[in-house]
Amino acid sequence: MEKIAYVSTYPPTHCGVAEYTRMLASALKSISPQTSIYILCDTDSGGERFDEEAKAHVYPAFVRRSNNYSRILDILTEINGVDVIHVEHEYGIFGDTPAILEACVKAREEGLAKKIVFTMHTVYHPLSGRIGALDFQKRLSLADAIIVHSYLQEFEIQHQGVDPIKIYRIPHGTFMNPYLGIPRFKLIEELGLTEYDIKGLITVVPGFLRKDKGLDILIDAIKLLDKGDNVTVITAGEVRDREVVDMIERAREHLNIIFIEKYLSNEEMLKLIALADAIALPYRDKHGLYSVSGILHLSMGSFKPIIGTRAPRLIELYQFAPRLTVPPRNPKEFAKRMKWLIENYDYAVAYMAYMYGYAVRTQWLRMARRHLSLYLNLLEE
């Protein structure tokens, strides 16, 4: 395979899919250095350039939630076409319209791309009421392959009429945390914290701060602990809902909560998770929406115990470490799991072994090989 084009957001755009695409492109280039990689990205991610980290050519190509993707066809013409055009699809990026799919089909018809691949980072269930998204999903068989990350997503789009022969389940990639061996005092210093801020069990809640992340569930759970004052909660990320900030400020009057309000780079995120004793993911379930948590995979690659809810985004945690999961919106059960973790920490780490094994099996290099194998098989057909 000579050329592949990814259509996606891309750093410095603040977006989980942007980070995902860079990690996938970087890993794929490592295993297939002869392949030329082109990133056709959102216009917010800066100008045309060569990304040294991923060894990829980056072209601003579309406005997010646009109905016009003609610039993608222009760029494909400029670079004399590609073997595969691969869309990292998220409704927050491309909207509910089929415009991006239609642009890719046109590229294939005009000989600008031999094969079309879509990764569906989010799949909607009919109960969501998202008519546009559901109509889009029914048309996915126009692509040559559709990648999903979980069994829930796989069977949902299959039941919605997508050709099962074209559906491939490739898990979200996992990055092995390189900062695990760094002394705690140094991590604290590099993150701009002080040792006086931290006491007891360090629980980290990483990622964008939104109401669906369930931080209020965690706060209520800690209040139920006998020694809730012996837990330090570090919540860090870009704020997407100001109500969450108000809630944190109120809770800080009674609990030891460290609040870092900023978009964290991958390096900062990994250092923060390396500092943690445990990761808390008290997510609320979103009705009618299936996705997979990128934060879960960052946490898995850091080999720390993870307590989470049985939300669809955390289905892998439920599969491999069910004892550390609780029903969503249940502070009492979350508190019970935290109490058990504090009292049985070494056992909890051992219990997570199946999860850690899954982290190793889903390393980015391995997931990149699965992508490459899929591309080559499609091109041989």
What's the chain's average pLDDT?
A: 93
DSSP per-residue letters across 32-48: -TTSEEEEEEEGGG-SS
**pLDDT for 337 beyond 70:** yes
| pTM for this prediction | 0.94
* pLDDT for res 229: 61
- % of residues, the chain, pLDDT over 70: 99
| 76 and 202 co-located in one domain | no
* pLDDT for res 194: 86
- Show the tokens assigned to 32: 């297939």
The CATH number of the domain holding residue 344 is: 3.40.50.2000
**pLDDT for 172 beyond 70:** yes
* pLDDT for res 70: 94
Model confidence at 227, pLDDT cuts 50, 70, 90, reads low
* pLDDT for res 210: 87
| 157 and 201 co-located in one domain | no
* pLDDT for res 248: 87
Would you say residue 19 lies in a domain? yes
* pLDDT for res 208: 85
- The amino acid occupying position 238 is E
What is the per-residue pLDDT across 258-315, written as a single tens digit (0 to 9) for each? 988 888 888 889 999 999 999 999 998 778 999 999 999 999 999 999 999 999 999 9
Domains of the chain: total: 2
DSSP letter (8 states) at residue 210: -
* pLDDT for res 238: 86
Would you say residue 179 lies in a domain? no
**pLDDT for 121 beyond 90:** yes
| 142 and 214 co-located in one domain | no
Cα dihedral 201, 321, 119, 140 sign: negative
The pairing of strands 56-62 and 49-51 is: antiparallel
- The amino acid occupying position 52 is E
* pLDDT for res 228: 56
Those residues whose C-beta lies under 8 Å from the C-beta of residue 165, and which sit 6 or more positions away, are none
| The three-state (H, E, C) secondary structure of 59-78, written as one string | EEEECCCCCCCHHHHHHHHH
- Show the tokens assigned to 154: 């796989």
Cα dihedral 241, 247, 250, 255 sign: negative
Model confidence at 322, pLDDT cuts 50, 70, 90, reads very high
| 145 and 223 co-located in one domain | no
* Segment among 43-47, 224-228, 281-285, 287-291 with least mean pLDDT: 224-228
Provide mean pLDDT across the span 135-149. Answer: 97
**What are the Cα distances from residue 241, in Å, to 3, 216, 252, 283, 329?**
40, 13, 18, 15, 18
Euclidean distance between CA atoms 71 and 100, whole angstroms: 11
**pLDDT for 328 beyond 70:** yes
Euclidean distance between CA atoms 154 and 131, whole angstroms: 19
Token pair 């084009």: residue:
5
Token pair 């800080």: residue:
252
Would you say residue 303 lies in a domain? yes
| 217 and 166 co-located in one domain | no
**pLDDT for 151 beyond 60:** yes
| 372 and 316 co-located in one domain | no
| 146 and 219 co-located in one domain | no
Would you say residue 93 lies in a domain? yes
Distance of CA 69 to the CA centre of its chain: 25
Would you say residue 164 lies in a domain? yes
| 193 and 132 co-located in one domain | no
Model confidence at 123, pLDDT cuts 50, 70, 90, reads very high
More reliable by pLDDT, 42 or 208: 42
Token pair 């060894």: residue:
55
Would you say residue 117 lies in a domain? yes
| 107 and 217 co-located in one domain | no
Element (H, E) at 256: strand 256-261
Range of the domain at 35: 3-173+363-380
* pLDDT for res 287: 84
Would you say residue 354 lies in a domain? yes
What is the per-residue pLDDT across 7-32, written as a single tens digit (0 to 9) for each? 999 999 999 999 999 999 999 999 99
DSSP per-residue letters across 105-142: HHHHHTTSEEEEEEEESEEE-GGG--HHHHHHHHTGGG
Q: Three-class SS of residue 179?
A: coil
Count of C-beta atoms within a 10 Å radius of residue 6: 26
* pLDDT for res 305: 95
Would you say residue 178 lies in a domain? no
| 116 and 211 co-located in one domain | no
| 99 and 247 co-located in one domain | no
* pLDDT for res 1: 66
| 129 and 201 co-located in one domain | no
* Segment among 41-45, 196-200, 352-356, 368-372 with least mean pLDDT: 196-200
Residue 298: Cβ-neighbour burial (10 angstroms; 0-12, 13-18, 19+): buried
**pLDDT for 200 beyond 90:** no
Residues recorded for the chain: 381
Q: How many helices (H) and strands (E) does the chain have?
A: 16, 16
* pLDDT for res 225: 87
Euclidean distance between CA atoms 72 and 60, whole angstroms: 9
Of 140, 62, 133, nearest to 95 by C-alpha is: 133
